[in-house]
C-alpha cells in the first residue's frame, strides 16, 4: 500500500491509523529478524500516536495527507527520548532530548513514528553492512546489500514495514539504496530541507530527504519536510511550493530531457543501460524531447566530492577518533584516517572547483528541464563482495556504487531516484532525474509521468507479500 | 617526506600517529594527482572567499 493510498482509505473510514500502524508493527516483527532494517522499534509510542491521529480525524482535525501514516526515521536523525545511534558504537547510548527538524515536521503533520532504521556506520558507506548492528539485507535477495547508507529506510519502505521513511544523502545515501531496493528517493536542493538534528558527516554535502514507494508519496513527504529553518546555517528562506503532480494522465510535451553522451553511460552493466534508455524512450513516447550533450568529466567531479567529504568527515569525527578510535569499524576508520591527510589547499581548491563546475551544469540545465542518468552501474552486489564485475572489468564495490551519484552532492542539485527496470535475476535497477536548483516540483512531475506509464513501483519484492 | 609521485603518505600518517595501508596510500596519491591536474580549471582572478558564501546555488538558480 502507498502512503497516499492509505491516506485515502483513512479518510474513507475504510481503515484507521491504528490498524495501519499495527499492520506495520506486525510486519516489522515478522520481517525484521530476517532483514534487519530497524535498530529501534517504538511500538508503544506508535500506537499512542496512531490513536491520537484517529481521534483528531474523528473530531474533524485533518493535518494533511500524512496524518496517521506510519513512518520510519533513519537512525542519525535525533528523536526526543529515543535512542539515536548513527549506526555506531560511539553513539550507542545517545538519547537526544530534542527532535530533528524533519522528525518534528512529520510529527506535526500527524505522521506516526514506528522507530529508527539502520544504516551504514555514521552514514559513511554504501553497503549498510554494519559492524555493530549486523548486515541489513536486500528484500529482493537477502544475500545482497540494500545499498546505503540509508539501507534500513529503503528496506522498510520496500517491504511495507513503513509507508514512508526519512534518509540522508552525502554521497548517494538516499539514491543508492532506493535504486538497489526498487523504491523512490529524493535528494532535494541543498538548503531545501533542514539538517538540524541530523548527525553530520560532510556538512557541505549532507542532504535530508524522503524515501517512498511512489513519486507521489515522495512529493507528499517533501512538502512536509521542506522549509526554512534558522537552526540550520545552510537552510534557505524560500517558499515551499506544492510538489504534488496533478492527478490523471501526465504528458511531457514541451519537456526537454538531457541524455549525457559521456561518463554516465560508460562502463555500465548492459541491463542498466537498457533500463535507463527504456525510461528515456518512455519519456519520448509521452511527448518529451530527448537532447544529447556532453557533461563535465564526472571523474573529476567525483574527486572534488571525495576530497571534500574526506576532509569534512575527518573534521566532524576528530574528537571521537582521537579518544575512541577502536570503536569505529575498519572501513569507516580507514576513511577518517585518510581524511586527516587531505592537504588544506586541496580541500580549499575543491570548493573553488565545485563552484566552477556548478556553473557549467547550470548552463546545461538552461537548455533542458532535467538530465536522465543511471543511479548505479550495476544492480545490488552480494554482502561482503568487495569488487563488482562491469563488463570485463572489475571495480571496487563502493566506488562503483557512488560514481554516478556522488557528484550531485557537491553541486547541491535536486535529484530524484526512481525504479527504471529489473535485471534478469529480478533485481531492481534505478535511474536519476537531475534538475535545476529548487525545481523539485518539475522533477516530481516528470517522474510521476514516467511512473504512471511504467508502473514499475507495483512490482513487489518477495518480502512484500 | 616526498617522492616523485608526491608526498610520502605513510610518513605523513606516521607523523599523526596513524598507519595507512597500501590501498589507502594509492587512493590518496590518486586524489592528489587529480587535484593537481584540476588546478588548471581554477579561475585565479575570482575572489577566493566567494567559495564560502553560504548559498551560492540560490543566486545561480534564479
Q: What is the pLDDT of residues A16-75, one digit of tens each?
A: 999 999 999 999 999 999 999 999 999 999 999 999 999 999 999 999 999 999 999 999
Instruction: Supply φ then ψ for residue A96, to 5 degrees.
Output: -65, 160
pLDDT of residue B47: 84
Chain B residues touching A234 at Cβ < 8 A: 54-55
Rg of chain B, C-alpha, whole Å: 17
Q: Does B16 touch chain A (CB under 8 A)?
A: yes
pLDDT of residue B53: 63
Chain A residues touching B48 at Cβ < 8 A: 348, 352
Q: What is the pLDDT of residues A206-258, one digit of tens each?
A: 999 999 999 999 999 999 999 999 999 999 999 999 999 999 899 999 999 99
A280, A257 contact by CB (below 8 A):
yes
* Mean pLDDT in residue range A312-319: 97
CB pair distance less than 8 Å for A346 and B27: no
H-state helical runs in A59-150: 101-108
- Report the relative pairing of strands A129-130 and A134-135 from DSSP bridges: antiparallel
pLDDT of residue B3: 55
Instruction: Supply φ then ψ for residue A262, to 5 degrees.
Output: -115, 165
How many whole angstroms separate alpha carbon A330 and alpha carbon A251? 49
Total Cβ atoms within 10 A of residue A249:
9
* Mean pLDDT in residue range A297-321: 97
pLDDT of residue A98: 98
Has residue A290 got a pLDDT over 90? yes
How many whole angstroms separate alpha carbon A100 and alpha carbon A110? 16
Chain B residues touching A310 at Cβ < 8 A: 31
Please name the residue that has the C-alpha cell 558507506.
A125
* Mean pLDDT in residue range A439-447: 98
Has residue B62 got a pLDDT over 60? no
Calculate how close chain A gets to B4, using CA atoms only, in Å.
17
pLDDT of residue B6: 76
CB pair distance less than 8 Å for A334 and B43: no
How many whole angstroms separate alpha carbon A27 and alpha carbon B22? 45
CB pair distance less than 8 Å for B41 and A350: no
Q: What is the pLDDT of residues A143-152, one digit of tens each?
A: 999 999 999 9
Cell of A377: 552501474
A24, A162 contact by CB (below 8 A):
yes
- Report the relative pairing of strands A184-187 and A415-422 from DSSP bridges: antiparallel
How many whole angstroms separate alpha carbon A440 and alpha carbon A131? 36
Its ipTM equals 0.90
CB pair distance less than 8 Å for A355 and B39: no
A24, A160 contact by CB (below 8 A):
yes
* C-alpha pair distances (Å), A120 with each of A132, A151, A331, A436, B23: 10, 7, 10, 29, 21
Q: Counting one residue from A and one from B, how many pairs have CB atoms under 8 Å apart? A: 91
Has residue B1 got a pLDDT over 80? no
Question: A464 or A377: whose pLDDT is higher?
Answer: A377
Interface test mutation site (partner B, options A230, A315, A326, A355, max chain B beta carbons within 10 A):
A355
Its pTM stands at 0.97
A159, A463 contact by CB (below 8 A):
yes
Chain B residues touching A350 at Cβ < 8 A: 35
Supply the residues of A annotated as catalytic.
74, 149, 173
pLDDT of residue B4: 54
* Partner-chain residue, chosen from B28, B34, B46, that has the shortest CB–CB distance to A338: B28
Task: Report A:211-250 residues touching B (Cβ under 8 A).
Answer: 233-234, 236, 238
Question: B50 or A108: whose pLDDT is higher?
Answer: A108
Q: What is the pLDDT of residues B25-57, one digit of tens each?
A: 999 999 999 999 999 999 899 888 877 665 545
pLDDT of residue B54: 52
Amino acid at each position: 500500500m502507498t502512503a497516499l493510498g492509505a491516506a485515502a482509505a483513512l479518510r474513507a473510514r475504510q481503515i484507521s491509523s491504528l490498524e495501519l500502524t499495527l499492520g506495520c508493527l506486525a510486519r516489522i516483527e515478522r520481517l525484521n529478524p530476517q532483514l534487519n532494517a530497524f535498530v529501534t522499534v517504538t511500538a508503544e509510542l506508535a500506537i499512542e500516536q496512531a490513536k491520537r491521529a484517529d481521534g483528531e480525524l474523528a473530531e474533524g482535525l485533518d493535518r494533511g495527507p500524512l496524518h496517521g501514516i506510519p513512518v520510519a526515521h533513519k537512525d542519525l536523525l535525533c528523536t526526543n527520548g529515543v535512542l539515536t545511534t548513527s549506526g555506531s558504537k560511539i553513539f550507542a547510548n545517545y538519547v537526544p532530548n530534542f527532535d530533528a527538524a524533519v522528525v518534528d515536521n512529520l510529527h506535526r503533520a500527524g505522521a506516526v513514528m514506528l522507530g529508527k532504521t539502520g544504516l551504514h556506520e555514521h552514514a559513511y558507506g554504501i553497503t549498510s553492512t554494519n559492524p555493530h548492528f549486523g548486515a541489513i539485507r536486500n528484500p529482493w535477495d537477502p544475500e545482497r546489500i540494500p545499498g546505503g547508507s540509508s539501507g534500513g529506510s529503503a528496506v522498510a519502505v520496500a517491504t511495507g514495514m513503513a509507508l514512508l521513511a526519512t534518509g540522508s544523502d552525502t554521497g548517494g545515501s538516499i539514491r543508492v539504496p532506493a535504486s538497489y531496493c526498487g523504491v523512490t528517493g529524493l535528494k532535494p536542493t541543498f538548503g531545501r530541507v533542514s539538517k538540524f538534528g541530523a548527525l553530520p558527516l560532510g556538512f557541505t554535502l549532507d542532504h535530508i530527504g524522503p524515501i517512498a514507494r511512489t513519486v507521489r508519496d515522495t512529493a507528499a513527504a517533501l512538502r512536509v519536510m521542506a522549509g526554512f529553518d534558522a537552526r540550520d546555517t545552510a537552510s534557505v528562506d524560500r517558499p515551499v511550493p506544492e510538489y504534488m503532480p496533478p492527478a490523471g494522465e501526465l504528458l511531457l510535451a514541451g519537456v526537454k530531457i538531457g541524455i549525457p553522451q559521456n561518463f554516465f553511460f560508460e562502463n555500465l552493466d548492459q541491463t542498466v543501460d537498457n533500463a535507463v534508455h527504456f525510461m528515456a524512450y518512455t519519456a519520448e513516447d509521452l511527448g518529451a524531447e530527448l537532447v544529447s550533450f556532453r557533461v563535465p568529466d564526472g571523474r573529476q567531479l567525483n574527486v572534488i566530492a571525495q576530497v571534500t567529504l574526506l576532509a569534512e568527515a575527518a573534521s566532524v569525527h576528530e574528537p571521537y577518533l582521537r579518544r575512541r578510535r577502536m570503536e569505529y569499524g575498519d572501513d569507516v576508520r580507514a576513511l577518517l584516517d585518510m581524511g586527516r591527510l587531505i592537504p588544506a589547499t586541496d580541500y580549499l581548491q575543491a570548493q573553488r572547483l565545485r563552484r566552477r563546475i556548478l556553473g557549467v551544469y547550470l548552463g546545461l540545465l538552461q537548455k533542458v528541464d532535467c538530465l536522465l542518468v543511471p543511479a548505479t552501474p550495476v544492480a545490488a552486489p552480494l554482502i561482503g563482495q568487495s569488487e563488482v564485475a562491469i563488463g570485463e572489468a572489475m571495480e571496487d564495490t563502493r566506488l562503483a556504487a557512488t560514481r554516478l551519484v556522488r557528484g550531485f552532492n557537491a553541486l547541491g542539485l535536486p535529484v530524484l531516484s526512481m525504479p527504471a527496470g529489473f535485471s534478469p535475476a529480478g533485481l531492481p535497477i534505478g535511474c536519476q532525474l537531475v534538475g535545476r536548483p529548487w525545481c523539485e516540483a518539475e522533477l516530481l512531475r516528470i517522474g510521476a509521468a514516467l511512473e504512471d506509464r511504467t508502473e514499475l513501483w507495483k512490482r513487489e519484492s518477495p518480502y512484500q507479500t | 617526506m616526498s617522492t616523485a609521485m608526491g608526498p610520502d603518505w605513510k610518513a605523513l600518517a606516521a607523523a599523526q600517529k596513524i598507519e595507512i595501508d597500501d590501498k589507502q596510500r594509492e587512493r590518496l596519491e590518486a586524489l592528489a594527482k587529480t587535484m593537481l591536474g584540476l588546478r588548471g580549471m581554477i579561475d585565479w582572478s575570482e575572489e577566493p572567499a566567494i567559495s564560502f558564501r553560504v548559498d551560492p546555488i540560490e543566486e545561480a538558480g534564479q
